[in-house]
């Protein structure tokens, strides 16, 4: 069992700080190796999709169900304020998940159209997750 060092002893403080520094350096190196291996080995489309934050994923599912919608429409589904949904929808658009089209003063978002011959991995993942959620939630 570790005991608290005598912090009033200046020599002991330096030793404790040096030990902490060594441990942190070791952890940083290990974390770096783990991140390097993890990023290159993720082939599971579901795992890649699940790296998207929950909040943005909820918006993506809402657009998927609504087909073509505004931030107001999505906010009704998610229960969040329109300005929050607008931010999330723009992030999804910039990330290549959504298309957007201006109709008058409103901007409509829809799922990105896909080429039937070369199905985009992102959309197959969305369909896979939606299917599994439907199975789980009934």
Q: Could you tell me if 130 and 62 lie in one domain?
A: yes
Note whether 55 and 27 are same-domain residues.
no
The answer to whether position 1 is within a domain reads no
| pLDDT tens digits, one per residue of 21-73 | 888 888 888 877 776 655 444 445 455 466 667 778 888 888 888 889 999 99
Pairing of strands 68-69, 98-103: unpaired
* 81 and 97 together in one domain: yes
> 34 and 53: one domain?
no
Q: Is the predicted pLDDT of residue 109 greater than 90, yes or no? A: yes
Q: Are 57 and 124 in a shared domain? A: yes
Q: Does 16 share its domain with 84?
A: no
The pLDDT value recorded for residue 50 is 66
Per-residue model confidence as pLDDT tens digits over 72-92: 999 999 899 999 999 999 888
- What spatial distance separates the first Cα and last Cα of the chain, rounded to whole Å? 50
Do 79 and 125 reside in the same domain of the chain?
yes
Nearest 5°: phi and psi at 29?
A: -65, -45
Q: Retrieve residue 85's tokens.
A: 């949904």
Is the same domain home to 23 and 50?
Answer: no
Q: How far is CA 60 from CA 8, 35, 112, in A?
A: 56, 27, 11
Residue 46: which residues within 8 A CB-CB, separation 6 or more? 125, 128, 129
What pLDDT, on a 0 to 100 scale, did the predictor assign at position 1? 45
Residue 90 lies in a domain: yes
What's the domain count of the chain?
Answer: 2
Residue 81 is assigned to a structural domain of this protein: yes
Q: Does some domain include residue 99?
A: yes
Q: Does 3 map to a domain?
A: no
Query: What is the extent of the structural domain holding 37?
Result: 8-41
Looking at the predicted structure, is the pLDDT value of residue 14 above 60? yes
Q: Tokens in use for 39?
A: 């990023």
Are 32 and 63 in the same domain? no
Residue 56 lies in a domain: yes
For 34-72, what is the HEC assignment? HHHHHHHHCCCHHHHHCCCCHHHHHHHHHHHHHCEECHH
Residues 6+ apart with CB under 8 A from 3: none
Same-domain pairing of 31 and 85: no
Predicted TM-score (pTM) of the model is 0.50
């Amino acid at each position: 069992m570790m005991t608290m060092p005598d912090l009033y002893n200046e020599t002991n403080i330096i030793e404790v700080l040096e030990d902490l520094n060594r441990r942190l350096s070791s952890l940083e190196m290990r974390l770096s190796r783990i991140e390097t291996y993890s990023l290159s080995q993720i082939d599971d489309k579901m795992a890649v999709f699940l790296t998207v934050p929950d909040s943005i994923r909820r918006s993506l599912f809402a657009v998927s169900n609504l087909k073509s919608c505004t931030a107001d429409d999505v906010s009704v589904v998610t229960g969040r304020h329109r300005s929050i949904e607008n931010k999330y929808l723009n992030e999804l658009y910039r990330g290549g998940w959504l298309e957007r089209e201006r109709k008058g003063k409103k901007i409509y978002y829809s799922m990105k159209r896909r080429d039937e011959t070369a199905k985009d991995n992102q959309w197959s993942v969305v369909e896979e997750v939606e299917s599994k959620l439907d199975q789980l939630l009934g």
